[in-house]
């Protein structure tokens, strides 16, 4: 595992260095295809490090056979900061309506095939989205839903693009919201707009989420004049929360095993499984007296579960202690701490004195060495990116002088 992370570190350095040496603009192009027409596309290649470059342009995708290059092998001198080339697309007239992808990979002829694969993965390519208009009216909707908590405002934003050959006079949407049992709980309407052919815009609706936290589904009916498209998108209100509601003990005798009853409540709209508790007992000097954990347990949605943990009080003296209860589930580990008074025949548990909710970024199994190496990778990448940006700014200032 350690060797694997070191390899990731070295790979990250290679990727950032390679990405900084070469750039292209624009990286994405949308083309509306018209029958009996040829499209010309410009590609600007940026020599960030003022190196001598030999490059090859390689078309990839379903439309690669329709690309015509004026020059496919390109030489850029070390004193040339950027070079613009052009190529044409002579597309057939029988393409199906919709989106068609084309990619132009910029390969360094002096590098190995493995490094060129890295360049492609990094995005050293130009992506062409060829849009073949539909014969009549047609829109492509894309929905984003803001992530909010219970009783907060949720925004539904539908980005729409008119990929039909005709203008749309009236475009709006109706949004039906369903809970996890597939029961409809609300119906929303967006604003209405007009949309010309090839144009894009947005329609919006807002909703106050007075429902319980959990997973939901939105059925979106997008109406445009006499046509309709139906889409579906899942979203969440709030986040999965298990809470330690109460800790108590009924019967006790010092020197025996004390059984704690811990009430765990699920505020989430789905069952949560494989949770467990780790309890630590501290003396008045903050020394750990004992640590014990529960078995794995499940809690059904919106329900409580009483979990038992056991403390062997052999060799324990009467006095004041602290009880720290940690609840582990879904990479989260909220903590609650309690003051306890231990006597010969009773343990008195006072109210929670501290609560912390720590969201685990890494799984519990991650070792410290892995975390340190991943942090080092992140820092090194930031330093390299900063160096590249600073160098480019300095070069531009020198050119202005």
Residue 223's CATH number: 2.60.40.2360
Most trustworthy range by pLDDT among 125-134, 317-326, 345-354: 317-326
Residue 217 tokens read as: 């589904």
How many residues does the structure list for the chain?
A: 401
Q: Which of 271, 264, 233, 235 is nearest to 248 (CA)?
A: 264
Binned at pLDDT 50, 70 and 90, residue 228 comes out as: very high
pLDDT at position 394 over 70: no
- CA distance linking residue 107 with residue 364, whole number of Å: 42
* 120 and 147 part of one domain: no
| Same-domain check for residues 341 and 258 | yes
The answer to whether residue 9 sits within a structural domain is no
Q: Are residues 354 and 369 in the same domain?
A: no
Q: How many helices (H) and strands (E) does the chain have?
A: 3, 26
pLDDT band with cut points at 50, 70 and 90 for residue 387: low
Does the pTM surpass 0.85? The reply is no
Worst-scoring range by mean pLDDT, 9-13, 28-32, 317-321?
9-13
Mean pLDDT score of the chain: 84
pLDDT score recorded for residue 81: 87
Please say which residue of 221, 237, 253 terminates a domain. 237
Q: Is the residue at 6 inside a domain?
A: no
Q: What is the pLDDT of residue 111?
A: 60
For the chain, give the percent of residues with pLDDT over 70.
81
Domain boundary among 102, 132, 162: 132
Can you give the pLDDT at residue 56?
A: 87
Q: Specify whether 104 is located in the same domain as 144.
A: no
Q: What's the domain range around 379?
A: 365-401
CB-based contact 263:304 (threshold 8 Å): yes
Tokens, residue 205: 């609706």
Distance CA 73, CA 307 (A): 70
Do residues 125 and 169 both lie within one domain? Answer: no
- Note whether 277 and 336 are same-domain residues: yes
Q: Which of 214, 237, 260 is the last residue of a domain?
A: 237
221 & 272 share domain:
no
DSSP string, 160-217: EEE-BSS-EEEEEEEEEEE-TT--EEEEEE---EEE-TT-EEEEEEEEE--SPSEEEE
Same domain as 382, residue 334: no
The verdict on 144 and 208 lying in the same domain is yes
Same domain flag for 108 and 190: no
294 burial type by CB count under 10 A (0-12 exposed, 13-18 middle, 19+ buried): buried
In a domain, 3, yes or no: no
Residue 12 in any domain: the answer is: no
Please say if the pLDDT value at position 398 is more than 90: no
Mean of the pLDDT values across residues 189-215? 95
- Domain count of the chain? 4
Q: Does 271 map to a domain?
A: yes
What average pLDDT does range 15-30 have in this prediction? 71
Q: Say yes or no to pLDDT of 157 above 90.
A: yes
- Regarding whether 260 and 176 lie in a shared domain, the answer is no
Q: State whether 57 and 120 are in the same domain.
A: yes
Q: Packing angle between helix 2-21 and helix 113-122, nearest 10 degrees?
A: 80
């Amino acid at each position: 595992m350690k060797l694997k992370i070191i390899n990731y570190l070295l790979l990250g350095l290679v990727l950032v260095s390679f990405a900084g040496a070469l750039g292209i603009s624009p990286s994405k192009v949308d083309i509306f295809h018209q029958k009996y027409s040829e499209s010309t596309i410009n590609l600007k290649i940026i020599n960030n490090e003022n190196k001598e470059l030999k490059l090859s342009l390689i078309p990839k995708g379903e439309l690669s056979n329709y690309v015509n290059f004026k020059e496919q092998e390109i030489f850029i001198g070390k004193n040339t900061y950027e070079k613009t080339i052009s190529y044409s697309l002579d597309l057939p007239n029988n393409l199906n309506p919709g989106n068609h992808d084309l990619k132009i990979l910029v390969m360094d002829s002096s590098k190995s095939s493995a490094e060129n694969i890295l360049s492609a993965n990094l995005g050293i390519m130009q992506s062409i989205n060829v849009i073949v208009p539909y014969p009549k009216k047609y829109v492509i909707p894309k929905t984003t839903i803001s992530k909010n908590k219970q009783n907060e405002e949720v925004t539904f934003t539908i980005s729409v693009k008119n990929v039909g050959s005709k203008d749309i006079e009236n475009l709006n949407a109706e949004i039906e919201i369903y809970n996890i049992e597939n029961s409809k709980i609300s119906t929303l309407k967006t604003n209405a707009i007009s949309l010309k052919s090839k144009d894009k815009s947005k329609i919006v609706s807002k909703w106050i989420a007075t429902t319980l936290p959990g997973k939901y589904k939105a059925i979106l009916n997008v109406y445009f004049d006499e046509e309709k498209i139906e889409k579906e998108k899942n979203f969440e209100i709030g986040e999965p929360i298990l809470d330690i509601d109460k800790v108590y003990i009924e019967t006790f005798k010092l020197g025996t095993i004390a059984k704690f009853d811990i009430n765990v409540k699920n505020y989430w709209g789905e069952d949560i499984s494989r949770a467990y508790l780790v309890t630590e007992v501290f003396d008045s000097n903050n020394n750990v007296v004992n640590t014990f954990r529960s078995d794995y347990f499940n809690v059904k949605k919106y329900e409580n579960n009483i979990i038992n943990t056991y403390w062997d009080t052999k060799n324990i003296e009467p006095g004041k202690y602290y009880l720290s209860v940690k609840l582990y589930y879904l990479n989260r580990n909220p903590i609650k701490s309690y003051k306890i008074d231990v006597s010969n025949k009773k343990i008195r548990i006072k109210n929670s004195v501290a609560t912390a909710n720590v969201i685990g970024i890494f799984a519990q199994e991650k070792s410290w060495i892995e975390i340190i190496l991943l942090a080092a990778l992140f820092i090194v990448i930031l330093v390299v990116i900063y160096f590249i940006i600073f160098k480019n700014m300095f070069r531009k200032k020198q050119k202005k002088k």
